[in-house]
Amino acid sequence: MLRTREQSQLVEGDVVGAPETIAVMCGRVGSSLNASDLVTAYPWLREVPAVTARYNIAPTDPLLVVDGERADLVRWGIDGGGGELFNLRAETALKGGFYQHLLLTSRVIVPVSHFYEWRTVGSRRLPVAVLRSDGAPISLAGLVGRHDGAPAVTILTTTPNPDLEPLHNRMPVVLSDHDAHAWVRGKLGLDRLASMLTPCPSGFLQLRPAPPLANGVHNEGPELLDPNALPPHYQLDLIG
């Protein structure tokens, strides 16, 4: 569905090329969060690195992750079973094997201010920014693995809630504030984890038209969320 800066193939699952794993759900995110935002959202943090606002982060780029004590930047995309793994189905992680081991031992939060989806209207793909309705950071559920021997992260996905269903058949796992704390600080069994790896409630997120600039991975500025940057009649085009 989306390309990385290196035009890599995006996969979601543990087998490259399997029909159900070719499309990637969460393929672009953005973050305008500063250190104060992070400490407010995750008060247990002891260390927060210097972060720069980036409104269009693609797979293979560095992503901020939060564990039970600190925040750090790691590569987006872990070594998977035959290729890079940028998203991982929650159902796959719950089944067993290596990904279940990561689920039980290597959970992190990927804090973002928004992520992107696309609505197809005719031959055009119109970007849509997805934000929390209350303006707070979005806590995406992630797992830390390795890429070429270094720490890296993959984002878990689940079935879509009613807000995202018209856009895609998957969505990233969005944790509630309560679940975010437990996700990285609690000792959780598979039953509890399974209850967290579900779609967030309808209305928890809001969808906002984003300008066509969001289609280009090298466009990373705040204008990607600026309603004044939308072309004329864009909202009508988005509704289709």
**Would you write out the chain's pLDDT as a tens digit for each of its 240 residues?**
333 443 333 334 433 322 233 345 568 999 999 999 999 999 999 989 989 999 999 999 999 999 999 999 999 999 988 789 999 999 999 999 999 999 999 999 999 999 999 988 888 888 999 999 999 999 999 999 999 999 999 999 999 999 999 999 999 999 999 999 999 999 999 999 999 999 999 999 999 999 888 989 899 999 999 887 787 666 555 555
What is the residue-wise DSSP string for 104-125? Answer: HH-EEEEEESEEEEEEEETTEE
Residue 240's Cβ-count burial label (10 Å; 0-12, 13-18, 19+) is exposed
The CA distance from 213 to 232, in Å, is 14
Could you tell me the residue ranges of all domains in the chain? 19-239
What pTM did the predictor assign?
A: 0.88
Report the DSSP pairing between strands 150-158 and 71-76. parallel
CATH fold label, 19-239: hypothetical protein yedk fold (3.90.1680)
The kind and range of the H/E element at 91 are: helix 90-95
